Structure 1
Amino acid sequence: MAKTSIFDHAERTQEGLKLNGFILHQIVEQCEGCERIHTVEGERYCSSYPQPAAKWRHGACNFATHVKADMDKEGKVKVNPLKASKRAARGR
């Protein structure tokens, strides 16, 4: 049985590759190494986000599988304070 891809239902239009009503843009250099990249007709696209460049504009893409969490000056992973307080309230 052949493995199917979400890009099997994509169609080529004048604007680019269209999938579920979204125009997909090709990946950017920072995406290299991510497991979410798929090749369609020789072009590479992200399977999670239609505009990969926008996800990298303000730092690391939150969908990136090849990027580690940011570290602060002391070498600890940065944690959202709201999430940390909720975890503490649950006893984690």
Structure 2
Amino acid sequence: MAKKKIVSLEGAVKTDAGLSYKGIIMEPVVEKCEGCERVVAFEGDNYCPTYAQPEKKWAHGVCNFATHVRAEMDKAGKVKVNPLKASKRAARGR
């Protein structure tokens, strides 16, 4: 059973550059982040406490922190697997 950790942005300060939290400037989440369990509301905007620049996380595909997105399927209908991990699993006999 996994414990849910409640994250708050306590001590954060809203600035012109964005939200300053523990010395890091955080940008608001993008539309693709809506529905993620990690998103936290702060003064009318939503922020991701896990990654400061969510737009860059989605630039090359799916964000690896996203809790609302499943692994992509390829054309054959199988889940995409890292080739290095696949070779290691095959070597172990899995």
TM range (shorter): 0.7 to 0.9
Amino acid at match of 1:61: C
Alignment identity in percent? 61
Q: Distance in 1 between matches of 2:51 and 2:8?
A: 13
Across the two proteins, how many residue pairs are aligned to each other?
90
SS for the counterpart of 1:18 is strand
Alpha-carbon shift at residue 5 of structure 1 (Å): 3.4
The match for 1:46 is 48
Cα deviation 1:31-65 (Å, max 9, x = unaligned)? 11111100011110012100111011111111111
Counterpart of 1:37?
A: 39
1:79 is matched with 81
CA distance in 1, matches of 2:50, 2:13: 17
Query: Normalised by the size of structure 1, how large is the TM-score?
Result: 0.85
Counterparts of 1:87 and 1:62, CA distance in 2: 21
Structure 1 stretch 44-53 or stretch 81-90: which is displaced more?
81-90
**Root-mean-square deviation (Å):** 1.8
More helix by share: 1
The amino acid across from 2:27 in the alignment is H
In the aligned structure 2, how far is the partner of 1:24 from the partner of 1:52? 9
What's 2:59 paired with? 57
Structure 2: state its 5+ residue gaps.
Answer: none
SS at structure 2 position matched to 1:86: helix
TM-score between both structures, scaled by the size of structure 2? 0.83
